[in-house]
């Protein structure tokens, strides 16, 4: 079943063609005035367009048909156009095909020939649409591959639990909700789930819901047909459709407007979507992974998130710990990112001293691994020697973000407290001995002596 447009200035031809093709189409639109063509094909997606070559301005040359053929293909490059004329010849037919027509029919036609031509045209249209979809999918895959990503780094107990859950869930098609603060690596976990799944050879499509304007949400996710809205000049394949067969990752799911959440829920339940401006459902087969840094339960209490949608997307939850709760992974992370950026900036002999590592361990990292990675890159760029020192490093708002800065000490061991205070002073002044000594009320010599004593 298909959508067909027939354009001819002869009313009898329109009636005869419509009656003949009615069993093979769900929608048949007939039009006598070719000037209505742009409006018609901009508002409806037609699978096949039958176009007369000669209208009232020009009876026999076929020039009007060639004009409208060109116009149609400019609006819809995937259009399948079959030209009709009572004055056709081989030369006109060859020119029509060269200029983009799919086939050529002479009036009066043979019904069997007409129907056979329609059947072939529908198969061609299906192939063109599928090829366009594959190209769109490949474009997204290429863009994703170009951005690259790094393996998840960590040996702490909390990260081992994350790895265990990934191993158990990846091979299934269960919907997964990843929770965690910004920068904890939610997308890396989503990619790991895809790599270990049975869909690894298919597309992984990532969508940042926080970066899409509300007016374009539906178009981005479900696609649209030409003319669906003011700027819809071309047909667009949505992310759900592109990801079909693979994995769809919706990052920051809490940003979806409440009115669109119902459509997301319907798509998940029915496993089909409908493009904006169309009434034709398209089946989809996706593995859905969502992520958020917000409490969806709090949003549900505030009537900002649908409870039934939460139940659909969180068959399995993976909660990622913030970096401040897995400080034991910092040496591994530092080694990992230093190896990357030493190579990138041609500083292969650069090493970090122990105080620099300790400063990284003592910082709270409000931006988590993402902030940590940027801090390493910036430090390597600024370092002018082969030793990465605290003076080469800069921590955002270190005074307010310093880990445990407002907590009481959990020990009364004076030496341990003195060591911690010296560490904090060195961190506060980025390893500047003179400023740290002045802050502590010590001479530089006394501070050096204490640093040596405590292995700083």
- The number of folded domains in the chain is 3
Same domain, 360 and 253: no
Please say which residue of 268, 286, 321 terminates a domain. 321
Q: How far is CA 240 from CA 276, 283, 361, in A?
A: 13, 10, 41
Same domain, 286 and 177: yes
Same domain, 265 and 350: no
| pLDDT value at 32 more than 70 | yes
Q: Judge whether 131 lies within some domain.
A: no
β-strand 287-292 against 247-251: which pairing, if any? Answer: parallel
Q: Buried b / exposed e across 99-129, counting CB within 10 Å, b at 16+? A: ebbbbbbebebeeeebeebbeebbebbeebb
Q: Judge whether 363 lies within some domain.
A: yes
Main-chain phi, psi angles of 390, to 5 degrees:
-55, -30
Same domain, 231 and 378: no
Say if residues 125 and 1 touch (Cβ distance below 8 Å).
no
Q: How far apart are CA 260 and CA 289, in angstroms?
A: 18
Same domain, 349 and 304: no
Same domain, 278 and 354: no
Q: Judge whether 277 lies within some domain.
A: yes
Tell me the CATH number at 279.
Answer: 3.40.50.300
Q: Judge whether 141 lies within some domain.
A: no
Q: List the structure tokens of 456.
A: 């700083």
Q: What is the pLDDT of residue 240?
A: 93
Q: Judge whether 36 lies within some domain.
A: yes
Same domain, 74 and 164: no
DSSP structure string for 107-118: SSPPHHHHHHHH
CA angle 114, 118, 124 (to 5 degrees): 145
* Rg from Cα positions in the chain: 32
Q: What is the pLDDT of residue 309?
A: 95
pLDDT digits (tens, 9 = 90+) for 407-425: 444 455 677 777 778 877 7
- The pLDDT confidence band at residue 293, using thresholds 50, 70 and 90, is very high
Beta strands in 213-333 (DSSP E): 223-224, 236-237, 247-251, 272-274, 281-283, 287-292, 316-319
Same domain, 285 and 156: yes
The stretch 192-199 carries a mean pLDDT of: 92
Say if residues 450 and 442 touch (Cβ distance below 8 Å).
yes
Instruction: Tell me what percent of the residues of the chain surpass a pLDDT of 90.
Output: 38
Range of the domain at 195: 149-321
Q: Judge whether 57 lies within some domain.
A: yes
Same domain, 112 and 172: no
CA dihedral 442, 443, 448, 450 (to 10 degrees): -30
Instruction: Tell me which of 101-105, 145-149, 351-355 is least confident.
Output: 145-149
Tell me the CATH number at 47.
Answer: 3.40.50.2300
Same domain, 166 and 47: no
Q: Judge whether 357 lies within some domain.
A: yes
Same domain, 307 and 330: no
DSSP structure string for 397-410: THHHHBTTTTSPPS
Q: What is the pTM of this model?
A: 0.60
Q: How far is CA 129 from its chain centroid?
A: 21
Give burial (CB, 10 Å; 0-12/13-18/19+) of 311.
Answer: exposed
Q: What is the pLDDT of residue 222?
A: 92
pLDDT digits (tens, 9 = 90+) for 36-85: 988 888 878 888 999 988 776 555 566 787 888 888 888 888 889 998 87
The stretch 165-174 carries a mean pLDDT of: 94
- Cβ neighbour number for residue 326 with a 10 Å cutoff: 20
Q: How far apart are CA 448 and CA 426, in angstroms?
A: 11
| pLDDT value at 5 more than 90 | yes
Q: List the structure tokens of 326.
A: 């897995």
Close Cβ partners of 299 (under 8 Å, ≥ 6 residues apart): 254, 305
Q: What is the pLDDT of residue 447?
A: 83
Q: How far apart are CA 22 and CA 34, in angstroms?
A: 22
Q: Judge whether 142 lies within some domain.
A: no
Q: How far apart are CA 394 and CA 380, in angstroms?
A: 11
Q: How far is CA 108 from CA 21, 103, 105, 134, 266, in A?
A: 15, 16, 9, 39, 48
β-strand 316-319 against 351-352: which pairing, if any? Answer: unpaired
Please say which residue of 289, 321, 353 terminates a domain. 321
Please say which residue of 62, 92, 126 terminates a domain. 126
Tell me the CATH number at 353.
Answer: 1.10.8.60
Instruction: Tell me which of 30-44, 154-168, 221-235, 410-424 is least confident.
Output: 410-424
Q: What is the pLDDT of residue 337?
A: 92
102-111's contacts with Cβ under 8 Å and 24+ in sequence apart are 105/50, 107/13, 109/84, 111/20
- The pLDDT confidence band at residue 149, using thresholds 50, 70 and 90, is very low
β-strand 287-292 against 387-388: which pairing, if any? Answer: unpaired
| pLDDT value at 194 more than 80 | yes
Q: How far apart are CA 265 and CA 268, in angstroms?
A: 5
Same domain, 197 and 209: yes
Q: What is the pLDDT of residue 392?
A: 83
Q: How far apart are CA 202 and CA 180, in angstroms?
A: 26
Say if residues 72 and 41 touch (Cβ distance below 8 Å).
yes
């Amino acid at each position: 079943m298909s959508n067909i447009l027939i354009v001819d200035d002869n009313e009898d031809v329109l009636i005869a063609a419509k009656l003949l093709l009615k069993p093979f189409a769900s929608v048949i639109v007939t039009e006598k005035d070719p000037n209505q063509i742009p409006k018609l094909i901009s508002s409806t997606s037609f699978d096949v367009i039958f176009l007369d070559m000669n209208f009232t301005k020009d009876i026999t040359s076929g020039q009007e048909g060639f004009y409208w053929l060109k116009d149609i293909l400019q609006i819809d490059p995937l259009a399948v156009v079959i030209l009709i004329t009572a004055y056709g010849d081989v030369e006109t037919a060859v020119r029509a095909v060269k200029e983009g027509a799919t086939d050529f029919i002479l009036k009066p036609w043979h019904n069997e020939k007409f129907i056979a031509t329609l059947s072939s045209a529908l198969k061609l249209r299906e192939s063109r649409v599928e090829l366009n979809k594959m190209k769109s999918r490949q474009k997204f895959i290429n863009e994703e591959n170009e951005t690259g990503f790094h393996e998840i780094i960590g040996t702490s107990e909390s990260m081992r639990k994350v790895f265990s859950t990934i191993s158990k869930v990846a091979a299934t098609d269960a919907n997964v909700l990843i929770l965690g603060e910004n920068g904890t690596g939610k997308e890396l976990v989503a990619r790991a789930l895809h790599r270990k799944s049975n869909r690894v050879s298919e597309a992984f499509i990532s969508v940042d819901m926080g970066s899409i304007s509300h007016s374009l949400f539906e178009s981005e996710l479900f696609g649209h047909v030409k003319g669906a809205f003011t700027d819809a000049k071309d047909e667009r394949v949505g992310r759900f459709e592109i990801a079909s067969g693979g994995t769809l990752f919706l990052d920051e799911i809490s940003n979806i407007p409440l009115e669109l959440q119902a459509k997301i829920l319907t798509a998940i339940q029915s496993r089909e979507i409908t493009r904006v401006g169309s009434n034709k459902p398209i089946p989809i087969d996706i593995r859905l992974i969502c992520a958020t840094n917000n409490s969806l339960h709090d949003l549900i209490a505030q009537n900002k998130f649908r409870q039934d949608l939460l139940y659909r997307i969180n068959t399995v939850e993976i909660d990622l710990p913030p970096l401040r709760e897995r400080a034991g992974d910092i040496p591994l992370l530092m080694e990992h990112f230093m190896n990357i950026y030493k190579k990138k900036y041609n500083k292969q002999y650069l090493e970090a001293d122990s105080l620099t590592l300790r400063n990284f361990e003592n910082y709270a990292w409000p931006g988590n691994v993402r902030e940590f990675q940027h801090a390493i890159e910036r430090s390597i760029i600024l370092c002018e020697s082969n030793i990465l020192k605290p003076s080469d490093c800069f921590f955002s708002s270190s005074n307010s973000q310093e880990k445990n800065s407002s907590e009481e000490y959990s020990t009364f061991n004076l030496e341990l407290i003195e060591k911690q205070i010296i560490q904090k002073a060195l961190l506060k002044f980025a390893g500047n001995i003179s400023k740290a000594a002045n802050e502590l009320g010590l001479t530089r010599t006394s501070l050096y002596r204490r640093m040596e004593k405590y292995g700083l």
